[in-house]
Amino acid sequence: MFTIAKTEATRGLWPVSKAPLAEPGQGMVRIDVLAAGICGTDYHIYSWDAWSSARVKTPMTIGHEFVGRITAIGEGVSGFSIGERVSAECHIACGACRFCRTGNAHICENTRIIGVDRPGAFAEQVEVPASNLWRVPAAIPDAHAAIFDPVGNAMHMVTSAGVTAKDVLIVGGGPIGLFAAAIAKAHGARTIALQEPNPARAAIARSLDLDLVVNPREPGSVAEILALTRGHGPEVVLEVSGNAAALNAALDIAAPGATFALLGIPAGAVTLDLGAKVVMRGVRLLGITGRRMYETWYQVEAFMLKNPGLMDKVITHILPATEFARGFALMDEGACGKIVLDFANISGGRLQ
């Protein structure tokens, strides 16, 4: 079968032909992948930055955002049947630690991630614990169903920060920032401003009918944000860029008592003046990881069913899986929104 793997400890990804998966083990299911989204985490692994080189062991089939159909069911699995269309939570929690037992499996201390710590979904087949599966309603198309995971990141960030009736600033207009903007709008944010220097992504943001889209590198962008927020600055900041300078700049203009939800992964250590910028101004910092299992998934399903047009604005490319290199090149250039890889075409199928 065709897979996309990290085979060398250097920048890049490579196509690898592997034998089809064997029958799934206890509690597991085998899924034929229909579509898979390219995630920021995949891009980190492709780039082979400090985080990915310290975490990922080569060779590794990557990819964790996907939708597919069940083709084999292991012993001990009930409630699922061959042919069902499913997505899956990519964080495999242990179910036994303190965090799992208190409803916080998204921060399980023994988490293993599909496509990072174990073989992933950039393949014609993937094996996943049945407990991680999510049935996908027929009304949600494959390209949308493949990216429950990143939309879930955005949903978790927005709902954790509490945006209703607040002035919101989104730092970074990549796919998760764009999804977060749409979700914040659906959750009744008073105003939404988005910072994005890349023209292609800024254009997608403008198509979402936000209150303000600015290039943070342009003079006057701070004044525009302050004018939108009646001079006091944003009350909620959703940081998805992972850019240290952008985070510090947002702290400078945020309202006293602002909530910062941090999802972007910095390339290295970030220096902050915690005393002046956080403590003395009563700012709240929230680290956001993964999705709440499975509250966030219900929220994402409802959002997708009600907002298919918004999803299509953010998904800018659906590429044959064999053209994955083009997808990562587009990400290098910043010339895209969300990219979905079509695995169904490899076996002569078609996406729903």
What is the per-residue burial (b if ≥16 Cβ within 10 Å, else e) of 314-330?
A: bbbbbbebeebeebbeb
Tokens 């509250």 appear where?
Answer: 295
Catalytic residue among 3, 44, 156, 187: 44
Asked whether the beta carbons of 2 and 124 are under 8 A apart, the reply is yes
Catalytic residue chosen out of the listed positions 3, 41, 61, 111: 41
In terms of C-beta density within 10 A (0-12 exposed, 13-18 middle, 19 or more buried), how is residue 306 classed? Answer: exposed
User: Kind of pairing, strands 212-214 and 125-129?
Assistant: unpaired
Q: Name the token pair of 206.
A: 């403008």
* CA–CA distance, 115 with 136 (Å, rounded to integer): 21
Q: Is 64 a catalytic residue?
A: no
User: Within a 10 A sphere around the Cβ of 335, how many other Cβ atoms?
Assistant: 14
Structure tokens that stand for 279 in this block:
């403590």
- Residue 107 tokens, joined: 């921060």
Query: Which region holds residue 162: left if phi is over 0, alpha if psi is between -120 and 50, else beta?
Result: left
Strand segments, DSSP code E, in 26-130 are: 28-37, 60-61, 65-73, 85-88, 91-92, 112-113, 125-129
| Catalytic residue flag (residue 322) | no
Catalytic residues: 41, 44
